[in-house]
Amino acid sequence: MMESGAPLCHTCGEQVGHDANGDLFVACHECNYHICKSCFEYEIKEGRKVCLRCGSPYDENLLDDVEKKGSGNQSTMASHLNNSPDVGIHARHISSVSTVDSEMNDEYGNPIWKNRVESWKDKKNKKKKSNTKPETEPAQVPPEQQMEEKPSAEASEPLSIVYPIPRNKLTPYRAVIIMRLIILGLFFHYRITNPVDSAFGLWLTSVICEIWFAFSWVLDQFPKWKPVNRETFIERLSARYEREGEPSQLAAVDFFVSTVDPLKEPPLITANTVLSILAVDYPVDKVSCYVSDDGAAMLTFESLVETAEFARKWVPFCKKFSIEPRAPEFYFSQKIDYLKDKVQPSFVKERRAMKRDYEEYKVRVNALVAKAQKTPDEGWIMQDGTPWPGNNTRDHPGMIQVFLGNTGARDIEGNELPRLVYVSREKRPGYQHHKKAGAENALVRVSAVLTNAPYILNLDCDHYVNNSKAVREAMCILMDPQVGRDVCYVQFPQRFDGIDRSDRYANRNIVFFDVNMKGLDGIQGPMYVGTGCVFNRQALYGYGPPSMPRLRKGKESSSCFSCCCPTKKKPAQDPAEVYRDAKREDLNAAIFNLTEIDNYDEYERSMLISQLSFEKTFGLSSVFIESTLMENGGVPESANSSTLIKEAIHVIGCGFEEKTEWGKEIGWIYGSVTEDILSGFKMHCRGWRSIYCMPVRPAFKGSAPINLSDRLHQVLRWALGSVEIFFSRHCPFWYGYGGGRLKWLQRLAYINTIVYPFTSLPLIAYCTIPAVCLLTGKFIIPTLSNLASMLFLGLFISIIVTAVLELRWSGVSIEDLWRNEQFWVIGGVSAHLFAVFQGFLKMLAGIDTNFTVTAKAADDTEFGELYMVKWTTLLIPPTTLLIINIVGVVAGFSDALNKGYEAWGPLFGKVFFAFWVILHLYPFLKGLMGRQNRTPTIVVLWSVLLASVFSLVWVKINPFVNKVDSTLAGETCISIDC
């Protein structure tokens, strides 16, 4: 609807301009990072010859042009920066949203919108006045740039830097990938043109499986084409935003912690997470911790009361002695010399006192847990004698309690503590609550009303802050004006405690977090993995990034929200008519950049920002809607705390999201149990990019299910979520093509995340083929020629070399890679297979089948749960595969002994593939046997039964002994002279 101009420079805010040929000036052709020619020349003069965003070297021709011009452009750059427009560090081009025609209640509508319009008018008038001031009067500098008027050398440097993988490591890696593609092409040509007629069914099955494996490898490999490393500089962040004697200019952060059942998620673990948040190395007035209790449990509430009281002692102790980690359970359990580097004489005495206080705190919390094991018939009663509102977990009002903060209790030294807020959203029968995604969206609204920090960090209840400076690491990216403008979130890798060194079930996911995510960081950014992620709040509201292309006047824009299909063009007409006539079959809202509203008069501007259009998108809360328009976060100074609490209760009502865009285009997206993948995918489709941050000390650590049954159940849930996305409208195969904002390698990565469960079908067939070959005496590969032998050898070598070079640039150990390969097979033939069938049942028949794991007590020893096996149907398929392959190996050797020397050659290839299956399933076998062979009897019975039926069927069809031709036998008998 608006006249489009050149994009704005991300450094100075001016238009990018054009080059000598009249084309739009582009400094980096890899990521099209918007930077004007003057800023580009300044960067080159300063010695920075790589892109600020992706780290790619600039074009040599552009560098030559700059070098020819000499150093005269530095003064031009200085004047260019001095005349930059009012663009704040956290300013974003937010957009008003509408799903129906705008209506005017009065001249400007609601007073909130009138105030907002007046602020825009004042801003526009100030801008005009600043342009007419005499030259002797200094120009007004935006507040966000006042800190940088006289920056130190350290403060003026970038807050983070990209280190591309060295070419001597990356170039051979890419070359081997291309070589492997060529070898795969030749291999499939040989396989298809040389069928095995004697075992045509087995041959065809194996070829189909191999083609799928090659397709899956391409999806997994090519998003790792351009991996990068990053380094952040916390000292520079402090030098720029924390000057001595001045208030801290760091952005505020709202922490989200989610919990449901305190009996399955121990309150002590959740409390340690909360304590580590309250003690982070960050200004206390900038930190707020919101705990979502989706089970409305009085146990969770009472444990938070105890936690808030203990935090008054724990937080000052952590900050006084700079201890790490700041979760007391994990700090006191460290097997290290705690006196190392602690020179304060009082440390030993205070540490012992603090440990004693923590043990007493644990006793109180455990007493609450013991009391909560049996619910009273009349329900729980609070200390004031009133019934607990959450006695009915499916029918209760919304509850909010603020424990700490500027109006709450202070620590024992009288200092302010971060705010701690308990939240339990309203639940009523007949309403969809959307599990964790719904709880996170409720926290978004509550935090927007109460504190409205511009950034949000969400953690699972069992993931504590392991690095107290983790928030500063994220701010080095999000608060960097050159990098953070288009960043929707900063994702940290997941690290885990309580896993044995062998990590037999690949619980650490090292290959994914240290290889795949680094590769995605070089494209459009890592995926959102559900925890340890710092969000830009505006990205959660569905807005596009500041660099999103402007809308043309007289034309419909494609929605930033759907990013799917561009709408049809219309001839130029009145903007209001265009706005009313916009098609909305696939678009739920029309987006307009607020920076372009200055081109309209007051009436048109009020139409675009009408209250009705916002309410149809965000819900019926004027306070919340006003918070979405506050560029730098924060709450109005005139806000009344009691009024805000009432409004916060209102926005967590169970009916608040009805007929809005929550869960569809705003916040965490509904429709999958893996809402994290879906939410990150929607943001990338809108044009945002994400950043992967890997500090030397892990930012967060959590607990992983280390026994076999729980691990398979976890993988089942992840795979089911991917299958649900595959069958939804958000499938990356067809969603998000409008505007071309999702990069193709990024799309391949998302496609890989939703199709990997389907690999279970060819994988289980391929793991069965070796046993079939051994039982029938047939094989899927004909007699090899010299050329075929070379192809097979080349394929195996390329696979090994690819893995070796990947280990070289990523730093992952070969043991981690092997564990990942093993569990890929284990999970593929069990959890992924069940997820596919469950997804089909849910899609076709509407049957929601749950494969649950029953609880069982674990041994009270280190890694005791590793040897515990719980009954689950997921154990049957891999156990069956193990048995039939072992039976096949025995049968193969028996058959070779009967046939003689000539049978041993063909046997080698068959046994090789059978051992390949057995070796990959070996961790499963070891976990299944456990300690003292405590394998569930039902698993053994079912597996032996299935394996026996399978073996007997093949013996009946094609026994080991050679079949005797009856005709030939008759002729032989006739020829015998009796």
The backbone torsions φ and ψ at residue 626, rounded to the nearest 5 degrees and listed phi first, read -65, -35
List for the chain the helix, strand, coil content (%; round to 5): 50, 10, 40
The helix (H) or strand (E) run that includes residue 695 is none
Instruction: Taking each helix axis as running N to C, give the angle between helix 760-776 and helix 876-899, from 0 to 180 degrees, rounded to the nearest 10.
Output: 30
What is d(CA 473, CA 248) in angstroms, rounded to the nearest whole number?
16
Q: Of the candidates 94, 35, 77, 82, which has an alpha carbon nearest to the alpha carbon of residue 59?
A: 35
Sign of the alpha-carbon dihedral angle for 691, 694, 700, 704: positive
What is d(CA 138, CA 121) in angstroms, rounded to the nearest whole number?
22
Preceding omega of 376 cis (within 30 degrees of 0)? no
The helix (H) or strand (E) run that includes residue 761 is helix 760-776
258 annotated ligand-binding residue: yes
Q: Of the candidates 545, 280, 525, which has an alpha carbon nearest to the alpha carbon of residue 419?
A: 280
The helix (H) or strand (E) run that includes residue 156 is none
The one catalytic residue among 293, 411, 676, 710: 676
Surface-to-core class of residue 364, CB atoms within 10 Å of its CB (0-12 exposed, 13-18 middle, 19+ buried): middle
Q: Contact 69/41 with Cβ under 8 angstroms?
A: yes
SS3 727: coil
86 annotated ligand-binding residue: no
265 annotated ligand-binding residue: yes
Q: Of the candidates 441, 55, 459, which has an alpha carbon nearest to the alpha carbon of residue 227?
A: 55
CA dihedral 942, 944, 950, 951 (to 10 degrees): -170
128 annotated ligand-binding residue: no
374 annotated ligand-binding residue: no
Q: Of the candidates 81, 214, 75, which has an alpha carbon nearest to the alpha carbon of residue 151?
A: 81
Q: Contact 521/819 with Cβ under 8 angstroms?
A: no
384 is catalytic: no
SS3 344: coil
Q: Of the candidates 246, 252, 239, which has an alpha carbon nearest to the alpha carbon of residue 280?
A: 252
Q: Contact 681/515 with Cβ under 8 angstroms?
A: no
First vs last Cα of the chain: how many Å apart? Answer: 105
Residue 209's contacts (CB-CB under 8 Å, 6 or more residues apart) are 762, 763, 765, 766, 769
Q: Which amino acid is at 184?
A: L
What is d(CA 458, CA 531) in angstroms, rounded to the nearest whole number?
6
Q: What is the DSSP string of 370-407?
A: HHTTS--TT--B-TTSPBPTTSSTTSB--EEEEEESTT
254 forms beta bridges with: 288, 456
Q: Contact 688/561 with Cβ under 8 angstroms?
A: no
**How far apart, in Å, are the Cα atoms of 945 and each of 870, 885, 938?**
20, 14, 10
**Cβ atoms within 10 Å of 487's Cβ, excluding its own:** 22
294 is catalytic: yes
**How far apart, in Å, are the Cα atoms of 113 and each of 98, 117, 675?**
15, 6, 33
Q: Of the candidates 629, 624, 671, which has an alpha carbon nearest to the alpha carbon of residue 652?
A: 624
What is d(CA 58, CA 61) in angstroms, rounded to the nearest whole number?
9
Sign of the alpha-carbon dihedral angle for 450, 451, 455, 457: negative
- CB half-sphere exposure, 371, CA atoms < 13 A: 16
What is d(CA 546, CA 538) in angstroms, rounded to the nearest whole number?
11
**How far apart, in Å, are the Cα atoms of 762 and each of 8, 153, 186, 204, 705?**
50, 59, 21, 12, 27
The one catalytic residue among 254, 293, 294, 521: 294
133 annotated ligand-binding residue: no
553 annotated ligand-binding residue: no
* Known binding positions for Mn(2+): 436, 460
* Known binding positions for UDP-alpha-D-glucose: 258, 264-265, 294, 435
Give the residue numbers marked as catalytic. 294, 676
* Known binding positions: 258, 264-265, 294, 435-436, 460
